[in-house]
């Protein structure tokens, strides 16, 4: 399929083929796919009338946003799936986007600013923690958020861990007994499996209800259980339930929102935008109480206010459980397909869901409050963006760049006298860390060993590996490619820069890359072939941006070096035991976690490890306990 489509021109260059394809698309509800010349899915959309919707992309490119226009210029094939109703199309679209994750379907920007709460339902004993990375690696794991108020979120999680007996540590402190948290009732003894997975899941279901905005429902359930326990004269259980109820009541004590019908669960959503971004706020109100304030960031050019709000709600509720969907959704402006979304959510919830654009006092005041919070978030985002823009403008002038540096890469080496030598690559996009593009490298040079380091050769190796793909495939686009850097910064002085410049010259890439180095001592910037640094001031915005990049590259390299060194030291002694290869070492450390625990284990305990028999277990024991 890919070899065949490589020869096909985009539809914009083949109007007759486009016209034929559009006539084949029926005027019925359904889902459509846009594909490029490599058969990749660019975009997945839905519509009440497929033919009209798809045709609208090709009528007038000037009316499209720059992002969608870029997508349309690459389309070589259009596929579709017809459904019976618009609500079915919406549900199908949500599932297909989740499955394929097309590049141009990404409306919300993951800027790592807002944290999520994750519950790892995929584990036998689930964990609950705060994270800024929403990685759906395990389908059973659930993410709640993103939450705007980080302080309140951490306070909530602390209260939950105080109220409910939960695992407090990611790894056990002791291998054969529980820690102090078990003795004081903070943990049910997960590490020693003193509580069954079924019972622990019941506790975690209660925790999940808090992040689903169902704290009031949970309080009512616990109250019923407390009264039943008291009637059965089980006062210890009743007292524990009473403490849990009181702890839950403190979570939202100061978050009352006054509305006449405060028994209705509702979400209120509004946005504020400038010419670049739209900051969206979604308030979750349950029983008249504000239980969550979620924040999203989208491109302002991705649609009208109603279109952006519609898409945010679709994406948000697509990953939510049915119990998290409220009975009423208040919106800032009318949605273009509110009826379809309401029908879809009603089907998922199993009861009617209303979407309203309030005009009267009360609910309209609530929307105004949400919009005001969105304006504050936008102002904060603008300040950050203005500061980064000022730094990029200064750096552009400093390095004589034709445009603002969209992507800047920083490289650093870390080792101790040549041992465990590693390198890091960090990336700043629009002046902000883009951690999804960070990379770590193990130095492969056989001459770099313990007692003999060579930072020049190590940096040359890393840069050669980084840009090798461009030399192997000369036809690969460079300046227009998303991963092509505008600036490459090396942590070091003239020597490190010269080594990197030499290897890039051999690769034929030096003329196309802007490579610089930042020396540590005086924060001096060097250019290739120049004996003197650029005339700069340490506190000017462009230099500060490079310093942030350099410090981040150093931090990332050092953390990887420490990890490699720890693993080597942990395995070095085990390598001395005959018959204990890499796979068995991995099994052994997977059970005992550390070398100290292996040393303390008896032959019988060691023999319980898969692949470790009684004979090898005795050898391991004798190695650590010589006569």
pLDDT tens across 48-68, in order?
A: 899 999 999 998 777 777 678
pLDDT (tens digit per residue) in 515-539? 999 987 778 899 998 888 888 887 8
**Same domain as 309, residue 425:** no
pLDDT mean over 285-292: 76
**Separation in Å, CA 440 to CA 307, 464, 533, 557:** 40, 14, 29, 7
Q: pLDDT confidence of 441, banded at 50, 70, 90? A: very high
Asked whether residue 321 is assigned to any structural domain, the reply reads: no
Which of 519, 548, 567 is the last residue before a domain boundary? Answer: 567
pLDDT, position 574: 79
pLDDT mean over 506-511: 89
List strand residue ranges (DSSP E) for 132-276, in order: 142-144, 266-273
Residues 161-187: b if buried by 16+ CB within 10 A, e if exposed: bebbbbbbeeebeebeebbebbeeebb
pLDDT mean over 338-351: 89
- Report residue 455 CA to chain centroid gap: 33
CA distance 345 to 313: 10
**Same domain as 272, residue 243:** no
Asked whether residue 393 is assigned to any structural domain, the reply reads: no
Q: pLDDT confidence of 309, banded at 50, 70, 90? A: very high
Asked whether residue 105 is assigned to any structural domain, the reply reads: no
**Same domain as 127, residue 55:** no
Which of 40, 74, 100 is the last residue before a domain boundary? Answer: 100
**Same domain as 546, residue 420:** yes
Of 495, 494, 489, the C-alpha closest to 549 is 489
Asked whether residue 257 is assigned to any structural domain, the reply reads: no
**Same domain as 562, residue 584:** no
Q: pLDDT confidence of 112, banded at 50, 70, 90? A: low
**Same domain as 275, residue 176:** no
Q: CATH no. for residue 364?
A: 3.30.420
Angle, alpha carbons 419-424-426 (nearest 5°) = 165
Q: pLDDT confidence of 259, banded at 50, 70, 90? A: low
User: Using an 8 Å Cβ cutoff, are 615 and 625 in contact?
Assistant: no
CA distance 384 to 378: 10
Phi, psi of 109 (to 5 degrees): -90, 130
User: Using an 8 Å Cβ cutoff, are 606 and 617 in contact?
Assistant: yes
List strand residue ranges (DSSP E) for 7-71, in order: 30-35, 41-47
| pLDDT over 50 (residue 4) | no
Q: Tokens at residue 202, please?
A: 């019941």
| pLDDT over 80 (residue 271) | yes
| pLDDT over 90 (residue 332) | yes
Q: pLDDT confidence of 1, banded at 50, 70, 90? A: very low
Asked whether residue 237 is assigned to any structural domain, the reply reads: yes
pLDDT, position 426: 94
**Same domain as 439, residue 366:** no
pLDDT, position 254: 46
**Same domain as 544, residue 437:** yes
Q: CATH no. for residue 446?
A: 3.30.420.340
**Same domain as 542, residue 428:** yes
Q: pLDDT confidence of 256, banded at 50, 70, 90? A: very low
Query: How, if at all, do strands 487-491 and 407-416 pair?
Result: parallel
CA distance 456 to 418: 12
CA distance 606 to 609: 6
pLDDT (tens digit per residue) in 78-103? 999 888 888 888 888 887 887 777 87
pLDDT, position 2: 39
User: Using an 8 Å Cβ cutoff, are 348 and 322 in contact?
Assistant: yes
User: Using an 8 Å Cβ cutoff, are 167 and 187 in contact?
Assistant: yes
Asked whether residue 489 is assigned to any structural domain, the reply reads: yes
Asked whether residue 15 is assigned to any structural domain, the reply reads: yes
**Same domain as 561, residue 450:** yes
**Separation in Å, CA 317 to CA 282, 306, 329, 342:** 12, 16, 11, 11
**Same domain as 122, residue 222:** yes
Angle, alpha carbons 60-62-64 (nearest 5°) = 85
* Number of folded domains that form the chain: 5
Which of 70, 100, 130 is the last residue before a domain boundary? Answer: 100
The whole domain housing 74 covers: 2-100
CA distance 174 to 170: 12
**Same domain as 125, residue 27:** no
List strand residue ranges (DSSP E) for 30-178, in order: 30-35, 41-47, 77-82, 116-119, 128-131, 142-144
pLDDT, position 572: 65
CA distance 352 to 345: 8
pLDDT (tens digit per residue) in 446-483? 888 777 888 899 999 999 999 988 887 777 667 667 78
User: Using an 8 Å Cβ cutoff, are 377 and 279 in contact?
Assistant: yes
pLDDT, position 5: 37
Region of poorest pLDDT, from 137-141, 187-191, 366-370: 137-141
User: Using an 8 Å Cβ cutoff, are 424 and 503 in contact?
Assistant: no
Of 497, 477, 499, 495, the C-alpha closest to 487 is 497
| pLDDT over 60 (residue 136) | no
Q: Tokens at residue 82, please?
A: 């017809």
Q: Where are the alpha helices (DSSP H) in 407-536?
A: 455-472, 494-506
Query: How, if at all, do strands 354-356 and 328-331 pair?
Result: parallel
Three-class DSSP category at 37:
coil
Q: Beta-carbon neighbour count of residue 101 at 10 Å? A: 12
Q: CATH no. for residue 51?
A: 3.40.1440.10
pLDDT, position 245: 79
Q: Tokens at residue 116, please?
A: 């999520």
CA distance 99 to 104: 14
Q: Which residue has the higher pLDDT, 77 or 568?
A: 77
Q: Which residue has the higher pLDDT, 549 or 567?
A: 549
Q: pLDDT confidence of 565, banded at 50, 70, 90? A: confident
User: Using an 8 Å Cβ cutoff, are 489 and 452 in contact?
Assistant: no
pLDDT (tens digit per residue) in 393-439? 999 999 988 888 989 999 999 988 778 899 999 999 888 888 888 99
Q: CATH no. for residue 593?
A: 1.10.150.20
User: Using an 8 Å Cβ cutoff, are 493 and 517 in contact?
Assistant: yes
User: Using an 8 Å Cβ cutoff, are 27 and 51 in contact?
Assistant: yes
Asked whether residue 322 is assigned to any structural domain, the reply reads: no
């Amino acid at each position: 399929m890919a070899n065949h489509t490589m020869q096909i021109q985009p539809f914009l260059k083949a109007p007759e083929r486009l016209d034929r394809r559009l006539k084949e698309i029926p005027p019925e509800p359904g889902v459509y796919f846009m594909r490029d010349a490599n058969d990749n899915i660019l975009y997945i959309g839905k519509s009440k009338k497929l033919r009209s919707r798809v045709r609208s992309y090709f009528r007038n490119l000037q009316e499209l946003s720059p992002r969608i226009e870029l997508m349309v210029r690459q389309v070589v094939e259009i596929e579709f799936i017809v459904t019976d109703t618009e609500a079915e199309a919406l549900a199908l679209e949500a599932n297909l986007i989740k499955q394929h994750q097309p590049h141009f379907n990404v409306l919300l920007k993951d800027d790592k600013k807002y944290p999520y709460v994750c519950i790892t339902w995929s584990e036998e004993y689930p964990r609950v923690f705060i994270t800024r990375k929403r990685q759906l690696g395990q389908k059973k794991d659930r993410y709640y958020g993103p939450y705007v108020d980080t302080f309140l979120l951490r306070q909530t999680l602390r209260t939950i861990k105080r109220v409910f007996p939960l695992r407090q540590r990611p790894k056990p402190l002791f291998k054969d007994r529980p820690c102090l948290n078990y003795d004081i009732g903070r943990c049910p003894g997960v590490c020693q499996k003193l509580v069954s997975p079924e019972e622990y899941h019941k506790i975690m279901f209660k925790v999940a209800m808090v992040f689903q905005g169902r704290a009031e429902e949970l309080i009512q359930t616990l109250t019923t259980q407390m009264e039943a326990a008291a009637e059965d004269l089980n006062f210890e259980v009743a007292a524990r339930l009473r403490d849990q109820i009181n702890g839950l009541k403190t979570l939202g004590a100061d978050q009352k929102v006054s509305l006449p019908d405060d028994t209705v669960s509702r979400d209120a959503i509004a946005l504020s935008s400038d010419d670049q971004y739209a900051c969206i706020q979604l308030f979750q109100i349950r029983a008249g109480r504000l239980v969550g304030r979620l924040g999203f960031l989208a491109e302002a050019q991705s649609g009208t206010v109603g279109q952006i709000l519609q898409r945010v709600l679709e994406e948000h509720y697509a990953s939510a459980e049915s119990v998290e969907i409220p009975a009423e959704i208040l919106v800032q402006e009318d949605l273009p397909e509110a009826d379809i979304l309401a029908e879809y959510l009603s089907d998922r919830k199993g009861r009617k869901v209303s979407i309203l654009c309030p005009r009267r006092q009360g609910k309209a005041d609530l929307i105004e409050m949400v919009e005001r919070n969105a304006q504050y978030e936008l102002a904060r985002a603008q300040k950050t963006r203005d500061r980064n823009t000022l730094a990029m403008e200064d750096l552009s002038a400093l390095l004589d760049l034709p445009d603002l540096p969209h992507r800047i890469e920083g490289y650093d080496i870390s080792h101790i006298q040549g041992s465990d030598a590693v390198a890091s690559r960090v990336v700043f996009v629009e002046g902000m860390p883009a951690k999804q593009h960070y990379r770590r490298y193990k130095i492969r040079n056989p001459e770099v060993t313990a007692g003999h380091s060579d930072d020049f050769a190590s940096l040359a190796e890393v840069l050669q590996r980084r840009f090798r793909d461009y030399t192997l495939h000369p036809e690969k686009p460079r300046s227009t490619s998303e991963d092509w850097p505008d600036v490459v910064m090396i942590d070091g002085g003239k020597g490190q820069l010269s080594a990197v410049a030499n290897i890039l010259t051999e690769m034929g890439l030096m003329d196309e890359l802007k490579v610089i180095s930042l020396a540590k001592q005086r924060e001096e910037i060097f250019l290739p072939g120049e004996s003197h640094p650029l005339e700069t001031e340490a506190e000017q915005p462009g230099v500060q941006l490079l310093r942030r990049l350099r410090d981040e590259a150093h931090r990332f390299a050092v953390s990887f070096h420490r990890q490699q060194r720890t693993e080597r030291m942990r395995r070095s002694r085990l390598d001395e035991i005959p018959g204990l290869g890499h796979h068995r070492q991995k099994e052994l450390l997977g059970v005992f976690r550390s070398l100290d625990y292996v040393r303390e284990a008896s032959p019988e305990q060691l023999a319980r490890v898969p692949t470790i028999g009684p004979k090898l277990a005795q050898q391991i024991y004798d190695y650590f306990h010589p006569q």
